[in-house]
Structures are given as C-alpha cells and as structure tokens.
A and B are shown apart, each in its own frame.
Chain A
Amino acid sequence: MPERSPEPLVVRGGTVLDAGGSRRADVVVAGGVVVAVGSRVDPPPGAIELDATGCVVAPGLVDLHTHLREPGREEAETVETGARAAALGGYTAVVAMPNTDPAIDSAALVAAVRELGRRAPVEVAVAGAITVGREGTRLAPMAEMARLGVRLFTDDGRGVQDARLMRRALEYASGLGVTLAEHCEDEALAAGGQMHEGPWSSRLGIAGQPAEAEELMVMRDIALCRLTGARLHLLHLSTSGSLALLRAAKAGGLPITAEAAPHHFTLTDEAVASFDPVFKVNPPLRGAADVDALKFALADGTLDAIATDHAPHPAEAKELPFDEAPPGMLGLETALALALSELDCPIETVLSLLSWQPARIAGLTATQGGPVEPGRSANLCVIDPAARWTVDPDRSASRSRNTPYAGRELTGRVRHTVAAGEAVVVDGEALR
C-alpha cells in the first residue's frame, strides 16, 4: 500500500453500506483512516468534499484475479496502468497474478512487484506461483514468498496437472496458512480447444474444449481438498457442472471458496460467431444454461466472489486469427456495472461478492473489505447505482483495449474511489 499522507476528506450525503448493513451517513477520512461516520460529522478544516448524494458508500472492491503483466509484458499493462483501471472500477485492492515473464515464483520477484505496487494508486497484493516457472513439476519456494506476505498461490493460466504434486502443494500450503488457487483445466482433455465445445464450436469449425475439461479438475481438486484438509480457492468457474460439484463440496464442509468472472455470467459462446478474438478467453465463454447457473450460484451464495480475470492484450495480439490469438479480456472497469446490471440480486449481495468476501479470501481483511467505521483503513468506493453509461474502450485507463463490451450500455457507475485515505478517483476521473 502506498505510504502517503493524503489530505483529509469527507464523503457527504451517501448511504454507507458494508457487511453490517446500511445507514445514511457522512464519512470523514484523515491520515489514511476513517475517523468519523455519522450524520453530524465535523471534518477538519480544509477537508476535500466528495459529494455522494444518491450514492452508495461501500468498502472498496477487491479483485482476486488481476493480470498486471509486469514484469515482461509491459506493452499490454503495467502495475501502474492496471491499478489505475482498478481504481476507476471501484477497486482499492487487486491480487496480481504470477503468470508474468518471468513468473512470480520467488521472493525476489514478489518483492519487485510489491515495490512497483507501492507507487500504485491502489493496494497491490501479489500472488505467487505454486510451481517453479508455473511448469507444474517442482514446488516453488512458497514459504519464502509467504514470509513477504503472499497469501494466495496459483499457477493460473494453467492448472497443476499432476495430482500428486497438487496434493503435496496443498499439504505444504496448509502448514503456511496460505491458500492455493486453482485454474481448473485438464489439459489432456482440453487439448488445443480454443472455445467452448458445443453447437457453436461445431458450426464454426473451431476446436473446442468441453465443460468436462474444467469439471474433471474441479472434481480432482475437491478430492485432494478432502484428502489434505487444506484451503482451496477455485478460480473463474464457468460451467453449471462445476457449480454442482462446488455446492456438494461446500455442503460436505470442505474449506473451499470459488469465484466467477463477469464475462462468464454476461456472455455466451455465440459471441465467437463474429470470429473476433476479443471474445476469446480461458475458460471459454460457455452456453446460456451455464450463464444462468452462474447467476443463480452468485445470488444464492454458492460462489464467494466475482473476480475479473482482467487480462490485457495489445491490439495486434487480438488481431491474430482466432486460434492464434491469446485468451483474455479486460475486466476491472466494467465488473461492478455488469454485476449491478445483470445479476438478479440486491446491491448488498453484489458488494459482498466484490468486496468483503474476496478481501477475506485474499487475506486482506486488515485493510480491505470494511467495515466502514472509525479506525479502519480508508478504502472506499462511492457508487451511483442508477447512472447509465456506455463502455468506450478508448476511455479505458488500461494500456490495452480488449474489452468485449465496447458499446454496451450499463447501469451503475463508480463515482469516487478512496484508497488508503486518498481520493484517487473523483467524479469518474482518475487523479493519479
């Protein structure tokens, strides 16, 4: 988190909403922390006034799944630009995925990315790789990374294919009190699949990967979780079958959490009929029944978090033929609005999925996810739930433009973001 001494500020006229419920209140922030919450607050002289009339004042959003691309792919994104996009999306913390080049698989790389994060507008937590180079053959030095504060480990972009190695990783991680996060994909079954296997892949002549390629690994990892008792987080679940497995595992009391990405509950594989690689992502866009199942599982609590899988790629990479283009979509600036626009659940549920539940999974509750009360770190977002806006890729703060939502009209917009007590977004404009 940035060490700065921002000016005091007051968020006026909004409805404060956190895990404890909602109330009309102004919020005074000074020295990086919330100093007062109430209807008759007395801000210090010279405090910046942030208007929140008609808005919800919530703990800042926390993204469990952000590809910041630094080091190695700075033409796609940097920690700074990704963090700015995050702030515009209402996030006050992101977990940087370790599939950089080189992979974040050692204390030195963790320290390097954390150092870049220190200058970023929002908190940048770093996830470490489970295996050296994300190659799935040898355990990465998880203890030395955990000593630097890493709480999530993942080979994301790939799943750990070897069941024995994954078992050992889970056992080792449980001794460190950290969580493994798995990208669920059986590579042998997915073999070369560029989109979801089904009627569309068949029609379009594109190699598909079946839902079962994800579900087989969800099944295996649930079994390994049962075997080891270690905490497990399942990344970007995308199929109704995965959700059924998750539901049963949770009912059995296993220490499993799971996330879903906005594109998986707002788009289907039919979008690939355009052959525009902006719709290529992994796991791939699925069918309408999967979309419905994800929405249901987000509303009923089966899924614990919405995570963006923000995956920037430069324009030229997304102008390759569909089967050659890399998978991934931008997500940080549209996740909240998509959830508010598309999910059939109250804003309290949306915010729990985007803020305090992911904060818990990421091990960031000391600073993130609220509650909004005196003495807590001032990480807040101010949301106008009724504002309508149209997604314009050219206005993105990301270095990349690969959003699949260009031109889509959404409801619900971030008005202000306060990170570590500093107003980093005011009236929808990034200040740093």
Chain B
Amino acid sequence: MTGTNLLSVADLGPDGIAEVLRLADRFVEVSSRPIPKVPALRGKTVASVFFEDSTRTRLSFETAARRLSADVLTFSAGSSSLNKGESLRDTVGTLEAMGVDALVVRHRSSGVPWQVARWARRAAVVNGGDGWHEHPTQALLDCYTVGVERRARGLRPGLSGLRVGIVGDVRHSRVARSDVLAFGALGAEVTLVAPPTLLPPSLDGWGVAVSHDLDSLLGELDVVYLLRLQRERMTEALLPSLREYTAEYGLTRRRAARLAPDTLVMHPGPVNRGVEVDSDVVDASVITHQVANGVAVRMAVLFWLLGAGSAAGAPPGPHEAADPAAVALPGGGSDDARALA
C-alpha cells in the first residue's frame, strides 16, 4: 500500500496505519545507530511549509527528512513573501518550480493542506496540522507510542479494546480529531472527557463515548491523553477560569495516584504545567517518548510517500519487499547505503 498524500488519518485506514507503524519500527532502529541516517530518500527534496509557528513539529519533520538523506527546504510564513501579498497558491507553485517532492504543510486554518493538494502538480502533500481539523502524523506517533510503551511494560501492544480517555479541549483540537480516527481505526474504545463547551457541537459518526466526570473514569483507563488548553478559551465564555478547569479536568497529583499502574499519560505538547497536568505527573509520563517516536513515525510517512515502491518513487513494486533501512540508492549500490548507514 502506498499513498500520494497524507492529509487525514482516514486516508490510511487500519491497514495503512499498521504499515506505517511497522515502517516506524525500522526507523526507530535507524535512529538508534551511531550515525542515524539512511540514503532512502537521497535526491528527494522535502519542503516544510509552515504558515503557523510550530518549532517542534517542523523540527521533527526536518529531522526525519534528513535522516532519510532528503534535502530539506524550510519555508516559514514570517520570513516569506506571504507578507508581500503572495497567495498561498503562488507559494505552492513557486516551491514546486524548485523541484520539491513533498510539501509538509502546517496552517492555522482547517483544510489548507487539501487546497494545497489540489494545486500541487507532482509533490506529495503531508498534513503537518491544519486548524482544528487534523494532525495525522501526531495521531500515528501516538498510536506508535502506545504500542511501544505497552510492550515495554510487558502488556499486549495492540490498541484493540484499549480504553483511551481524551481529556480537554476537543472542540479546538486537531490532535483529538486525528487521534479519534486513528485510535478508533485500531479498535480502541475512546471516551472524550470535557465540559460540553469544549466538545464539538456534534459527535455524530465519531464512535466515541462522552463523559463530563474525569474522576469516575480514572481507574478504568489504559491511556489518559491530555490536550493542551489555550488560555484564550477563557475569553470566549467557554470556561469560567483556568482554576476551575484544573479542578474539574486537570490530571492533578491526587488524580494521577488513582490511575492503574500501567496507565499511560500522554500529551501532544507543549504542556501547560499545572493546568492540564501537574508538574511531577508530567515527569512520570511518556510525553518525551512521544517526541522521540515522532521522528521515526515521520520518517515512515515520508518513506511511505516518496520511497521505493511509493507512487512517487521508482520503480513501483511490492512495498512490503522494500527494506527502508537498507534500501538501494537510485543508480548506486546498497553497499554504499550500508556504509552510509
């Protein structure tokens, strides 16, 4: 299975997610090497096109691309011609004219990666997070992290049947929307835990349960996924105060003590310590592991889109046969590749 774009988790389906996660396993191993680099995408160019500040996601994608030996172009709105009135479409055209193979797009408006995908003639488009809508690579790395962390604890690594609580501002969260799709596709039972003002107006078709009472769920959850709370929500009459939010929905030390010992505490970052989660709970969480896994998962996504066997790579062939960690260089030898690796 290969793709031309990764816009939504729904583009992958359960099999696609599983395949990306399998690839990620290989790339975790690459990242642990003394020289964490393979030539899989040598000659390819990946542009990170970030219209919204996001240092961590951008660095994660760029690191992933470099570890695959791709060239990296960085476009950020602050330093770009967008300030000179250039349209989004012209920006895409300009980058494509430079021979870019993949555009990793982040924008504060929902749907921009879909617009970019319509305009792009040959580059693959990766959604690096759009508005409140989706953040598919975050969801993939979250699924990956759950599997790895559970395996490390001697638990069944599959997500099927796991009880996942996603806590907080689901309404404005692209992470929540993608996680619901990904966790759901892999068979987890997801409960959204939030005051009604921080839930989307409709959950038709989401296949999730809803709770307004975190305390009643604590002992039952395999994963507690905390969402970041933006401070401006207080001014939109969605919440009376941060203090009240923390009292009702924060993962305080007292609440964390009631979690089962193997429950994973996750957060997409950046964390508001003391708001969504108490500081020492952060330190016992798997949040930094999520970040580390992010690089491997994004390597998997870029390889899936651009590597041997992908729609953009040549020659097409059965993808399962390609070993990304020792892939042959185009026109070169695999010995060379192993030497580099």
> Measuring CB to CB, which residues of chain A are less than 8 angstroms from any residue of chain B?
197-199, 201-206, 208, 210, 274-276, 316, 319-324
Contacts and interface: CB of A to CB of B under 8 A. Distances in A.
Nearest to A202: B200
Contacts of B203: 202
A323 B111 CA distance: 9
Q: Interface SS of chain B: helix, strand, loop or mixed?
A: loop
A324 B202 CA distance: 23
A198 B200 CA distance: 9
A323 B202 contact: no
Nearest to B177: A205
B81 interface: no
A199 B112 CA distance: 20
Contacts of A321: 88, 107, 109-112, 115
Nearest to B170: A202
Interface in B246-272: none
Contacts of A199: 202, 204-205
B228 interface: no
Contact of A204 (B88, B89, B111): B111
A206 B88 contact: no
Contacts of B109: 321-324
A424 B81 CA distance: 45
A146 B91 CA distance: 49
Contacts of B115: 275-276, 319, 321-322
Chain A interface, >50% SS class: loop
A202 B202 contact: yes
A323 B110 contact: yes
A279 to B, nearest CB: 11
Contact of B114 (A198, A210, A274, A324): A274
Given A276-B115, A319-B87, A321-B88, A206 B201 contact: no
Interface string B157-179: 00000000000000000100100
Interface string B308-325: 000000000000000000
A205 B131 contact: yes
Contacts of B58: none
Most chain B Cβ neighbours within 10 Å, of A208, A319, A324: A319
Nearest to B205: A199
A21 to B, nearest CB: 47
Contact of A206 (B131, B202, B204, B206): B131
Nearest to A323: B109
Contacts of A210: 201
